[in-house]
Structure 1
């Protein structure tokens, strides 16, 4: 089983990440343009199509939302305990909590789900919903925590940034179209399907290019504390919540795997945007992604027992 996971899921993912890293070193790709293509078209298209084709009931959506709310709250409390133990200042506390709460559910989690579950509509819908909630968390708590640490209080820009996010709109439109049972015109369905099918390759190539941007440093203890929580404690929380909520089958498997994603690039983007511990944030993204090669194999193997 472990060899199958390595060959069928992990290696394809990291081959694409490696190609993206190599292309960035050779060609110095325009990361801004790549990020915009992912953020404003490919990811929303994948989310819309996943929800449009979804067979999730309203009850299942509510259960997943409850799972994610409890999961995020527990990680926040753990982050606060660690911050107090290490006597972090407000800025470092915000950066640390973002590093463990904001995972890479989009340009890493979505491709992983597609490869593990071979494009199953239910699994894709669950991951798309998780990614949408992750986006909401990023532009609410993620931004507020940093602004609160810096005492800027620029809540107008927060609201504007939130309203500019395309993923929540794609999520709601997909759910609505699904509920209405309305057919999708070919001139819309074909472009959206092409975009959805390109998501795995484009997202992972972009991630590989983004990772190269940050120099690797191995001497910061707090980075490893963050990685330990993100890659080991977070999946334990996920498995526990799956048991408590009585979930099983593909739903349980998808949520367990989703709980073990590395720190998201958004944590680093926010840190750079607000000049709040950018080096720490960049290192958590890079190192947690590298070590996820190991933890992901074990997590997928564990999830398949449910």
Structure 2
């Protein structure tokens, strides 16, 4: 629910901006459509909504109102984009409809499933340049696509298999792979990318399919730092490419028990007992290109329950130098890092 509220708030600001830039905000119809989302976002901030303490029927009503607000926002965005396009081109041609893939966090987008050619528009509503990783659900059994920007320049990409644990997320519309690429957009600007699948592709393509790597020599770099991983896929060395310094690290995976009134292995609320991980563990690590990590994240993942007690996984990296131990921002890899449990 918190994630839905956060995404809806961002969509609301995006809708307001586009409506203002298109000079359509004066329309009574547009104002009423935006107000539908405004009311839903405001209502969702109720303490029973965000905390999940409301009854099932009330929670479903919250979701219904928010879904209706998203429908209205999508109509406002299409109207604004059509108006801007017509004013620039001085015509009355209607543009193809823009669709928001609402379950993109579950690797679901039925639009990309049913279309072999489509356009991806990345909008930046901030006052600073945007450089972000875009993930597009890919359902077709292919190893390359034709991906270009608005100047028909090929864009580098990678096709990555999607992690799918049906025991945690049962979604029959989840894609099996995703197209990953880096997108950029200026302040209050947008960038358009064109995707064509091989069955109808023309011209050159960039094949960037993930292949099995030699774990003994596996490393990644963003131009500023480099991370090396050992034969078990665990973080082993951190390289500062600007200073030339290297920091050996030791990464471990563990889990801890949850708490309830009948069973508490933690002892007190301030004590957490970590247990060695006994099952196969995977991690996905990514670095933003030419950017120093700015914050730290300790990845966790729910492992299920035993005797009604939950288990949560965690990981840590320790170095043999004091400065390394103080560098929590390099704990695993900072931008985001998800621990995957099978």
Q: State the TM-score, normalized to the length of structure 1.
A: 0.26
Query: If you compute each CA radius of gyration, which structure gives the higher value, 1 or 2?
Result: 2
Larger RCO, structure (CA 8 Å, separation 6 or more): 1
Q: Give 1 or 2: higher strand fraction.
A: 2
